[in-house]
């Protein structure tokens, strides 16, 4: 969770600004900035946006779901809508960590517990012996 807070503190600098423009040149950083521009995601500082995009991939490499990263970016940054955070994270994944493309965006459900709880219904009581 601490790592997610670091991500969102960097992302606070990213939101609510006129996007800078980059030419896609085969350079992953330029490709990422171009993807943000095409998606209409605003950022103030290209270097910070790149750092946050790479951090998003590091978090996913550590097992955080894409949905968790999107949630953190959108909830901790007043200038970022959920849509902006989704586009930002999707752009980062497509450029910096394409191995995460197509992964589920939610955490899998927890495994079932080993404790079986049977249905509660009345059991017949045997008649008393005479």
Token representation of residue 123: 């059991």
**Rounded to an integer, what distance in angstroms lies between the CA atom of residue 91 and that of residue 24?**
13
Token representation of residue 117: 């709880």
The whole-number pLDDT of residue 21 equals 41
Token representation of residue 107: 């955490």
Q: 1-52, pLDDT tens digit by residue?
A: 555 444 544 444 444 333 344 444 589 999 999 999 999 999 989 998 999 9
The whole-number pLDDT of residue 114 equals 59
Token representation of residue 11: 């992302």
Share of the chain above pLDDT 70, in %: 62
25's CB contacts (< 8 A; 6+ apart) are 31
**Rounded to an integer, what distance in angstroms lies between the CA atom of residue 18 and that of residue 41?**
9
Residue 43 exposed, middle or buried by CB count within 10 Å (0-12, 13-18, 19+): buried
CA distances to 8, 27, 28, 85 from 91, in Å: 16, 14, 11, 10
């Amino acid at each position: 969770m601490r790592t997610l807070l670091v991500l969102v503190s960097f992302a606070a600098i990213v939101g609510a600004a006129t996007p800078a423009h980059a030419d896609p040149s085969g350079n992953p950083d330029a490709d990422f900035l171009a993807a943000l521009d095409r998606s209409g995601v605003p950022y103030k500082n290209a270097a910070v946006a790149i750092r946050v995009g790479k951090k998003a991939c590091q978090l996913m490499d550590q097992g955080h779901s894409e949905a968790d990263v999107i949630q953190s970016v959108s909830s901790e940054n007043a200038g970022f809508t959920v849509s902006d955070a989704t586009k930002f994270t999707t752009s980062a994944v497509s450029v910096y960590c394409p191995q995460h493309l197509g992964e589920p965006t939610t955490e899998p459900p927890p495994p079932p517990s080993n404790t079986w709880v049977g249905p509660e219904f009345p059991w017949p009581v045997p008649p008393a012996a005479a």
